[in-house]
A and B are shown apart, each in its own frame.
Chain A
Amino acid sequence: MQLDFRARELTLKFVYCGPSHAGKSTNLRVLHDRIAPLHRSKIITLDANDDGTLFLDLLPLSVKMGDVVVRLNLYTVPGKALLTATRRLVLQGVDGVVFVADSRSSETRSNAESFVDLKQNLRDSGRDIRTLPLVIQFNKRDAADARPDSELDALADRGSEPVLRAIASRGEGVSETFVALLDVVLRRLETAGELERTLHVDSTTALVSITDALGLPTDLQRACFGGGGSRHT
């Protein structure tokens, strides 16, 4: 989190991580198309080819709350295993992570490897994934060999973070995932006393005004696996 008192700006950095081709860039594009131009700039893509992201995508969002400008910078990192140094660079100063997993059973292993890489990258920069706001998105629910809902429901129940379903290529579950992360991040700031100090509101009020302004839904239940949605910590 960054706070510029003079400019009255609060900046939060969200990073979309996950294995190659899971749909991170697609998530950003959907949000871009869904959010009114007033509140977003265009997507900035640094280095990409037909085979995916090579450096990063960035979608800057901004919303005014009272006299404070809240900036939400959404990044994607490249999923390719080799580009771990790039990921570490982009992850610096991150406030929240969306882990985009690929639902296809064939990708179960690369999901896990990518997550381990994420944990390691965070650890290398002195961060701990256990204290970092995190939501998991199982994308490509439309894939023929997608893992069954029942399996993911059970896992979501036991894990400690919200798990959401998505078909990013059709725009489904994308807003919900973003809002779920925003929710976790705002609650975390609230616990640390930051929200009261900067925005003078509680996390629920902040969430509703930001999502309202961006034109995104606040009801996530439909997109959550397991008992999710309402039990973020």
Chain B
Amino acid sequence: MSLNDPIAPPSTLDALVDPEALLAALEPLWQLSRCPLRVLRADATVFIALEDPCGPAALCQYVDAFELSRSSCEELVALTRAPRAQAAMDLGEPVAHRCFTGAEYRASELFLGGRSLGRVVFGPFRPDTEPAADPFFAALDTRIDAAFADREFSRMPALSAAQADSIVRGTRATIVALAAQSRDLALLRAVHDATQHGPAEELVRKNDELERANAHLRELDRVKGNFLATISHELKTPLTSILGYAEMLSENIGGVLNDEQRGFVTVISDRARQLLGMITSIIELARMDQKQLRAARTPVSVGKLAREVAATFVPSARKKQIRIDAEVDDSTPSAYGEAGYLRQVLHNLVDNALKFTPEHGSVRIVVRPTSAALADSAEDSVGLAVLAHSRPCVELRVSDTGVGIPRGERDRVFDAFYQVDTGVARQFGGAGLGLAIVRRIVDAIGGQVRVEDNEDGVGVAMVVILPAAES
């Protein structure tokens, strides 16, 4: 595997900084002292210079008049302009250079991303601690008039070391900021070019279209939910009448029935009640969809609920000669949920198990502690695989000795209106909406539900994992 060369960002002052803009930006800073301020390229040539239009200070002109002092001055200027290694420059901290006249320079390297762009040279200026020129200057040449040198030296603008340093720092910061900005732009442009992006408006338009399509789908979902709720209510009203009249018939209110008639009426009542149950479920499901089922969560003892729910099913289980028992591990912590909804989960699971268990079978409810990876919030189904973390949980397991569910179908049993497509299922009536409701509730609580093999052999177990309440 080979790493390709990184794109080399532009790294020269000319490529990165517009000299006119820089002059404009530095002008106010320069006005503070009006001492020469130069920005040099990495090769020490001048990029921009801010100088007094009246030319160099009189002292400098005087220095230029004598051969020895002129060459010493040139040497010094070359030194101030020489590139510096990064380490020696302490990342661009100003470095002082002292002229033989007593005037001073400050130089500062311009680093960007570890590379030198060039440097700032400021000076000469008179240090405010020096009232007169260094006598060394007058000693260079017998023709030099020391009194004249002193007078011109004292006329140069005086600055404290701190002032000079801050002018240089300000200059450096300005240049580096401008350069960094345009380097980043250049990098972005490079990426842009590399990917040959088209016009931006097209992108925005596409996004808008997709958003609209999404909003439309959401609206359809909502309408569907409303529709289900409305139609179900409409179905419920006549059905209640049917049930009522069937009841009156069986109670001989409309006259005494013979056995055959009574049998027919019982079938009518049973089927009507079954239908009513389904309609109630549809309404429940639609309502859950709409409210996103933000169940109020409090600690709930699932074990206690399990015993209660098991007890309510004992009569109907006995009718089919099915054994039903609840087994609760006393060390199970409370679950974090809502008692009413959790009761419904248990009710639906047991109801479902009984429905699919043939005579002489058994239904077992087990409540025990476990640990599982659950997400913090119910909305975290996106990215759940990375958001979930292991925590104490309550396992609720309802197993039956029924016909079982093929492995490939186990995910789908929680879909609304799903039916395991076997003769047996048809014979016992469909799974209907019970399991879909279970999943809605469990999802809302932040738990999980799945189908497993029955640990005891035939049949399946519906396993619900609920987050334990913090103790």
Contacts and interface: CB of A to CB of B under 8 A. Distances in A.
Contacts of A138: 385
Interface stretch (B197-205, B279-287, B337-345): B197-205
B385 A43 contact: no
23 contacts: A9-B196, A9-B198, A11-B195, A29-B1, A41-B194, A43-B3, A47-B6, A48-B6, A58-B191, A71-B196, A73-B195, A99-B383, A99-B386, A112-B389, A119-B383, A134-B382, A154-B372, A154-B450, A155-B373, A155-B385, A158-B381, A158-B384, A192-B210
Contact of A11 (B197, B207, B388, B450): B197
A210 interface: no
A160 B382 contact: yes
Interface of A: 1-4, 7, 9, 11, 13, 29-30, 32-33, 41-48, 55-56, 58, 60, 71, 73, 93, 99, 101, 108-109, 111-112, 114-116, 118-119, 129-131, 134, 136, 138, 151-152, 154-161, 163, 191-194, 225, 227, 231
A158 B4 contact: no
B389 A44 contact: no
A222 B386 CA distance: 20
B235 interface: no
A112 B198 contact: no
Interface residues of B, number: 38
A1 B197 CA distance: 10
Contacts of A111: 386
B190 interface: yes
A231 B386 CA distance: 19
Contact of A156 (B187, B196, B203, B385): B385
Contacts of B4: 32, 42-45
Contacts of A131: 214
Interface string B328-341: 00000000000000
B206 interface: yes
Given A136-B383, A159-B381, A46 B195 contact: no
Given A101-B386, A231-B411, 17 more contacts: A11-B196, A41-B194, A43-B4, A44-B191, A45-B6, A55-B187, A71-B195, A93-B207, A109-B389, A111-B386, A112-B386, A112-B389, A114-B386, A136-B383, A136-B385, A138-B385, A155-B373
B190 A159 contact: no
A2 to B, nearest CB: 5
B387 interface: yes
A83 to B, nearest CB: 14
B206 A3 contact: yes
B88 interface: no
Contacts of A99: 383, 386
Nearest to A101: B386
A151 B373 contact: yes
A115 B191 contact: no
A192 B209 contact: yes
B69 interface: no
Contacts of A29: 1-3
B134 to A, nearest CB: 48
9 tightest CB-CB pairs across the interface, nearest first? Answer: A159-B384, A4-B198, A155-B385, A45-B6, A111-B386, A42-B4, A73-B195, A43-B4, A159-B385
